[in-house]
Structures are given as C-alpha cells and as structure tokens.
C-alpha cells in the first residue's frame, strides 16, 4: 500500500449465510464493468484479495452448472479477511483503496463465541470506523417466513445485535459529521420477487414493506444518533439466474428460533450470472467515497498551504544584522529555504490530487440512478 493511498473502509453487517462474501466478490466485476472506457480502473489491490475473489467466483460458477442450485455447496467464511480494491485514475499516481472486511456472519450472532471474542472485537472496530455500512438482507427468509415461522425473524436476521453495532457506528459518524455517512439496506437473493431480471412476479413493494418493518429499529438508531446519515434501499441480484423452487422449514434445535429455512432453486437458462443493482451500489459507494476523499485531500491541501506559507515567511524573516549573518554562515537560512521549497512542492501535489479525484468523481457519478435504488423513508 503506498503512502499517498487514500483508504476507504466499507462495513458489511449481516449474519451468516446471507450473501456477504458473494456480494463483495461481485463488486470488483461490477466496478470494472462500470469503468469500461473511462479514465479510471479498478483492480484487486493485493494477491490475497485476487485469490479470494477468483476462488469465490469459481465455486459459484460451478454451483450454477447444474439444473438445481444448492446453497449448501457454497462454504461459509471461516476467518475474517480484508478485500482490498484499488480505484485508480489513469492520469495520476493517487489511487483510492476500498477496504472491505469479510467475516464469518456467525460472529455477529454470538459475538465471536468464546474462541473468537478478540478477533470479533477487531471486526467491530473496523465496522465502526467505516463511513459506509452495507446491510445485506436475506430476502428469502424475509418473504417466506409466514405465520408460525415469522417469530424466527428478529433472531435470524440478528436485529438486536445489529442495533447495538449500528448505534456505535452512528455515534462515531456524529463525531465525524463533516464526512458523508451512508447506510445501504440491500436485500439479496431477491431474483424470485422482482420482475426486472428474468423473474415472473413483482413482489418488490412487499419486500420493501417487510424490510422497513423488520429494520425499523435499526433505521431509528441511525436517525437518533447521526441525523446527517443517508439511508438508501437497494435490492441486489448477485446471481440473477436462479428461481426459488421451494422452501422447507425444518425443526432444528440449533437454529435460532427453532426452525431452519431450506430454500431450493432452479437455475434459469444456462446459469449465466446476471447481476442487478450492483452498478447502483458501486456508483453510490464511489460517489460517497470520492466525495470524502476529495474533502480529505482538500483539507490536506489547505493545511499544506498554511504550513508552506508559514515556512516561507520564516525562511525570509529578517532577525537583525548579526543574527542574519549567523543564519547565513551556519547554513540555517539555506535549511529554512529548503524546507519552505519542499513544503510548497507538497502543497502543489495535494492540489493536483484534489483535481484528479474530482475527475474520478465526475466519471463515476455521471451515471443516472437505476429504478431499484430508493431512499428508505
């Protein structure tokens, strides 16, 4: 990681098996697709990230080869890991790094358990430091839990745990109210409830109603603690090529609420992934990230300007005949001038960085928002 790199943290908040890892792995693809023909490129910033993305993709593509998609064939995350994506303008050397922490969602449910309490602590620090919070939501669980199964929702969606973490996050945002703060509620696995990506029924309004109902407490916490935070709603298809065939509810003493939801999917067509909503997510992230990066770099530029002016004045300050003679003779004056020159150069560079970031911002936010993206009211 280079020193001038601006790192932007994106926090993901969801219990196990919702689709965090799949969502993160899909972001790189979408970023690259979105930036085709632009002055900006996106790539995996390190080899572990590249490896994790290709591994996840390989498993998913394999699972979509058969006629039926069996979710259990995709393994859960066992250890926390950082995904780092680099957004880089072609014209300058100043990239932005997107850092996303992926962790076993089970840790959110039981605070890391006995063995991983310390590691979970570190995950929570990362989450509360993140300017953007993504909340992936299991649409199948939410839409299929009727009648007697509805009571599993608060615990299986980990709503109380989420409210706690979101409160900490929102308090931190309030302390940094000059920075943008964004929460995106992202229903995933929603291919069978929306009709704009191969689905046959339109239950979009019902999905949204249920998200608003179940996550009302989470949204309330954000509004109480960080009034400037923006809450958006964006259903995402990371597969898009599957159709829910059936859902069974099995009694399971180990499952929160006593029942486990077991969905079965049919693979549509040739099982070619057809992502939807990720372009809007990428655009939202970039807009927020670059706005923050820009204000950060403008601030740095401003600080460098003040410092550079101060150093120049100091370098040129006349302090009386004998003192001036000593300053010149001892090389102190030359040293002051050197420092002022270096600082001026730093200032010029930080101004150039602001300009290049603005270039990225315009390239990315030129896209109009898609119809799936709305505000959570």
Binding region for ligand GTP (CB under 6 A): 14, 16-22, 60, 71, 74, 76-77, 104-105, 188-189, 191, 237-239, 242, 265
Query: Based on CB atoms, which residue is closest to ligand GTP, 21 or 356?
Result: 21
Q: Which does 238 bind (CB under 5 to 8 A by kind): Mg ion, ligand GTP, none?
A: ligand GTP
Do residues 350 and 300 make contact, with C-beta atoms less than 8 angstroms apart?
yes
Considering the complex, what minimum distance in angstroms separates the CB of residue 258 from ligand GTP?
A: 20
Q: Which does 120 bind (CB under 5 to 8 A by kind): ligand GTP, Mg ion, none?
A: none
Q: Which does 18 bind (CB under 5 to 8 A by kind): Mg ion, ligand GTP, none?
A: ligand GTP
Query: Based on CB atoms, which residue is closest to ligand GTP, 98 or 239?
Result: 239
Considering the complex, what minimum distance in angstroms separates the CB of residue 222 from Mg ion?
A: 24
Q: Which does 16 bind (CB under 5 to 8 A by kind): ligand GTP, Mg ion, none?
A: ligand GTP
* Residues contacting 108, CB < 8 A, separation 6+: 13, 14, 15, 16, 158, 161, 162, 165
Do residues 376 and 231 make contact, with C-beta atoms less than 8 angstroms apart?
yes
Q: Which does 19 bind (CB under 5 to 8 A by kind): Mg ion, ligand GTP, none?
A: ligand GTP
Considering the complex, what minimum distance in angstroms separates the CB of residue 74 from Mg ion?
A: 9
Q: Which does 89 bind (CB under 5 to 8 A by kind): Mg ion, ligand GTP, none?
A: none
Question: Coil, helix or strand for 250?
Answer: strand
Considering the complex, what minimum distance in angstroms separates the CB of residue 144 from ligand GTP?
A: 12
Query: Based on CB atoms, which residue is closest to ligand GTP, 33 or 90?
Result: 33
Question: Coil, helix or strand for 305?
Answer: helix
Phi, psi of 40, rounded to the nearest 5 degrees: -120, 145
Q: Which does 181 bind (CB under 5 to 8 A by kind): Mg ion, ligand GTP, none?
A: none
Considering the complex, what minimum distance in angstroms separates the CB of residue 77 from Mg ion?
A: 3
Considering the complex, what minimum distance in angstroms separates the CB of residue 22 from ligand GTP?
A: 3
Residue whose CB is nearest to ligand GTP in the complex, by number: 105
Phi-psi region of 189 (alpha: psi -120 to 50; beta: other; left: phi over 0): left
Query: Based on CB atoms, which residue is closest to ligand GTP, 170 or 194?
Result: 194
DSSP 94: -
What gap in Å lies between CA 369 and CA 284, rounded to an integer?
Answer: 9
Q: Which of 131, 128, 148, 149 is nearest to 140 (CA)?
A: 149
* Residues contacting 94, CB < 8 A, separation 6+: 4, 5, 6, 353, 356, 357
Task: Give 143-147's long-range contacts (Cβ < 8 A, gap of 24+).
Answer: 143/193, 143/203, 143/206, 143/207, 143/210, 144/247, 144/261, 144/263, 145/261
Contacting residues toward Mg ion, per CB under 5 A: 20-21, 77
Considering the complex, what minimum distance in angstroms separates the CB of residue 3 from ligand GTP?
A: 32
Query: Based on CB atoms, which residue is closest to ligand GTP, 158 or 283?
Result: 158
Do residues 39 and 90 make contact, with C-beta atoms less than 8 angstroms apart?
yes
Q: Quick count: other Cβ atoms within 10 Å of Cβ 362?
A: 12
Q: Which does 359 bind (CB under 5 to 8 A by kind): Mg ion, ligand GTP, none?
A: none
Q: Which does 112 bind (CB under 5 to 8 A by kind): Mg ion, ligand GTP, none?
A: none
Consecutive H or E run containing 93? none
Query: Based on CB atoms, which residue is closest to ligand GTP, 6 or 126?
Result: 126
Query: Based on CB atoms, which residue is closest to ligand GTP, 26 or 350?
Result: 26
* Residues contacting 13, CB < 8 A, separation 6+: 108, 127, 133, 134, 135, 162, 165, 166
Considering the complex, what minimum distance in angstroms separates the CB of residue 214 from ligand GTP?
A: 17
Furthest-apart CA pair in the chain: how many Å? 92
What gap in Å lies between CA 148 and CA 263, rounded to an integer?
Answer: 17
Query: Based on CB atoms, which residue is closest to ligand GTP, 96 or 244?
Result: 244
Considering the complex, what minimum distance in angstroms separates the CB of residue 262 from ligand GTP?
A: 12
């Amino acid at each position: 990681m280079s020193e001038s790199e601006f790192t932007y943290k994106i926090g993901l908040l969801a219990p196990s098996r919702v689709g965090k890892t799949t969502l993160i792995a899909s972001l790189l693809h979408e970023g690259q697709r979105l930036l085709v023909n632009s002055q900006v490129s996106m790539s995996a910033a390190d080899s572990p990230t590249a490896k994790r993305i290709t591994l996840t993709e390989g498993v998913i593509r394999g699972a979509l080869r058969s006629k039926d998609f069996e979710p259990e064939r995709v393994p859960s995350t066992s250890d926390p890991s950082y995904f780092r994506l680099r957004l880089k303008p072609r014209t300058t050397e100043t990239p932005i790094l997107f850092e996303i922490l992926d962790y076993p969602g089970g840790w959110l449910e039981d605070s890391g358990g006995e063995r991983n309490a310390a590691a979970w602590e570190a995950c929570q620090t990362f989450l509360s430091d993140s300017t953007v919070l993504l909340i992936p939501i299991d649409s199948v669980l939410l839409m299929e839990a009727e009648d007697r199964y509805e009571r599993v929702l608060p615990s299986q969606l980990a709503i109380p745990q989420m409210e706690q973490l979101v409160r900490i996050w929102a308090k931190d945002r309030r302390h940094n109210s000059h920075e943008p703060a964004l929460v995106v509620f992202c229903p995933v696995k929603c291919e069978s409830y929306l009709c704009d990506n191969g689905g046959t029924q339109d239950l979009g309004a019902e999905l949204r109603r249920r998200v608003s109902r179940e996550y009302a407490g989470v949204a309330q916490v954000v509004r109480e603690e960080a009034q400037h935070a923006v809450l958006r709603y964006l259903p995402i298809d990371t597969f898009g090529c599957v159709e829910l065939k059936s859902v069974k509810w099995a009694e399971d003493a180990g499952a929160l609420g006593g029942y486990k939801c077991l969905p079965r999917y049919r693979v549509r067509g040739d099982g070619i992934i057809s992502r939807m909503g990720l372009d809007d997510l990428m655009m939202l992230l970039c807009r927020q990230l670059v706005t923050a990066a820009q204000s950060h770099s403008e601030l740095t530029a401003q600080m460098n300007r003040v410092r550079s002016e101060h150093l120049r004045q100091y370098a040129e300050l006349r302090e009386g005949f004998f003192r001036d003679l000593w300053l010149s003779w001892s090389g102190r004056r030359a040293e002051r001038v050197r420092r002022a020159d270096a600082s001026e150069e730093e200032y010029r560079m930080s101004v150039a960085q602001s300009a290049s970031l603005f270039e990225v911002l315009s390239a990315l936010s030129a896209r109009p928002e898609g119809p799936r993206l709305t505000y959570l009211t």
